[in-house]
Structure 1
Amino acid sequence: MKTEKVIEHIVAWLRDYAVNAKQKGFVIGVSGGIDSALTSTLCAKTGLELLCLEMPIHQAANQASRASRHIDWLQGQFSQVNRLSVELTPVFDTLVAAFPPVEKEEDRFMSLANTRARLRMTTLYYFAALHRYLVAGTGNKVEDFGVGFYTKYGDGGVDLSPIADLMKTEVRQLAQHLGVNREILEAAPTDGLWGDNRTDEDQIGASYPELEWAMGMADAGKTAEDFTGREKTVFAIYKKLNTLNQHKMLPIPICTIPEALK
């Protein structure tokens, strides 16, 4: 990959999109992970305004500290970068308390994880509307178009997706080239939605390099029967998630009314 050329291309695309949309800049949720670190750096390089939001909800301390130090680093390089911390834990807890109880608490763990992401999306759009900013998405190609590892109308609710055509390994390559903090480069990827230290690999059952391989094999028309051992397991994981999460990747279905009924 022509790293510097790819960076220049994305930065120019971001700048042109914002200018054509008559928006002043971008707002992004900075999580302490590599995807938001790269995306925020690319947005900052446009020279347009950038608001970095920290939105903790029972957040693990190491994730919050990585996010804070990344924003410090950004502000040391770009004068137009601003930051704001919005503590969403009380909002989340109040909302959860308003929901009716369930028989088994574990039955709603996934719903509550997705609720965190949707609260953050709502917060991002509040500030976007307030300042005439675009909400910059942080999803990479394997997450957005491979396994659908994101929350519908949560971190998937954005105005534009600057890194959605980059694999996770390519995201790392660009972030390293741009000088993103080593602690972020070395941190295990996590969605940060559970209030603990579980990683993306813990949840998915495969690493991002493995998923990238499986995505390539699926695009080449391979099936599970073409593989054995760990490769077969990883391919099956990929195909299962790709199938289950098609509702996230496809346009919203529209019920078309036949002309004869109108």
Structure 2
Amino acid sequence: MKTEKVIDHIVGWLKDYATNAKVNGFVVGVSGGIDSAVTSTLCAKTGLPTLCIEMPIHQAKSHVTRAQEHIKQLKERFENVTDVRADLTPVFEEFKTEVSLEGEQATVDMALANTRARLRMTTLYYYAGLLGRLVAGTGNKVEDFGVGFYTKYGDGGVDLSPIADLMKSEVYALGKVLKVPTSIMEAKPSDGLFGDARSDEDQIGANYDELEWAMQMNDEGKTAEDFTGRQQEVFKIYKRYNTANQHKMIPIPVCIIPQNLT
């Protein structure tokens, strides 16, 4: 990959899209992970106002520290970058007092994890509406179109997706050139939705290098029977997530009314 040319292409695409949409900048949720760090840096490089928003909800300390380190560095490098911190922990706790928490614990935990992502989406769009800006998504190709590892109408609710055609490994390649802090480059990817330090690999059962391989094999028409051992296991993990999360990757089904009924 021609990394520097890819960076220039994305920055130009972001700037052109914002100009054509007649908006005056971007809003990005910064989590302390590689995807949000790369996305916010790309937005900053457009020269347009870029607001980085930190939105902790019982966040692991390591995530908070990395997010703050990145934002500080970005503000030192780019005059067009500002930041705000919206502590959503009290909002989340109040939400829990108004809904039923009955059911299997794993199911309740997952529903609450997705609620965290949706509260953050609401916050991003509040500031975007207030300032007349676009919400820039931080999903990469493996997450968005491979395993669907994101929250529908949470971190999946965005105006545009600058890195969604990049594999995770390619996002890291951009991060190196964009001078993303070492602490973020070396940290294990994590969605941070459970208030602890569990990684994406802990949840999925495979790392992103493995998932990229499985995505490529799937695109080539391979099946689980073509592999053995760990490769077969990873391929099955990929297929399970890809199948279960198709509802995130295809347009919302619309019931078309036949003309003879109108």
Instruction: Name the TM-score class by shorter chain.
Output: over 0.9
Which residue matches 1:139?
Answer: 139
Which residue matches 1:116?
Answer: 116
- Asked if 1:79 corresponds to 2:79, the answer is yes
Q: How does 1:16-165 map to 2 (within 5 A)?
A: 16-165=16-165
Identify unmatched segments of 5+ residues in structure 1. none
Q: Take 2:107 and 2:142, find their aligned partners in 1: how far apart are those partners?
A: 27
Q: How far is 1:119 from its partner?
A: 0.1
Q: Take 2:104 and 2:44, find their aligned partners in 1: how far apart are those partners?
A: 45
TM-score normalized by structure 2?
A: 0.99
For 1:93, give the aligned amino acid: E
* Higher deviation after alignment, 149-158 or 103-112: 103-112
- Structure 1 residue ranges, 4+ long, deviating more than 2 angstroms after superposition: 103-107
Q: How far is 1:103 from its partner?
A: 4.5
Which residue matches 1:219?
Answer: 219
* Number of residue equivalences: 262
Q: How far is 1:104 from its partner?
A: 4.0
* Higher deviation after alignment, 96-105 or 36-45: 96-105
Q: How does 1:156-235 map to 2 (within 5 A)?
A: 156-235=156-235
Cα RMSD over matched residues? 0.7
Q: How far is 1:177 from its partner?
A: 1.0
Identify unmatched segments of 5+ residues in structure 2. none
Q: How far is 1:100 from its partner?
A: 2.1
Q: How far is 1:124 from its partner?
A: 0.2
TM-score normalized by structure 1?
A: 0.99
Q: Which secondary structure state, in structure 2, belongs to the residue aligned with residue 53 of structure 1?
A: strand
State the percentage of identical aligned residues.
66
1:152-192 CA deviation, whole Å, 9 max, x = no partner? Answer: 00000000000000000000001011111000000000000
Q: Take 2:103 and 2:250, find their aligned partners in 1: how far apart are those partners?
A: 34
Which residue matches 1:236?
Answer: 236
1:184-217 CA deviation, whole Å, 9 max, x = no partner? Answer: 0000000000001110000000000000000000
Q: Which secondary structure state, in structure 1, belongs to the residue aligned with residue 143 of structure 2?
A: helix
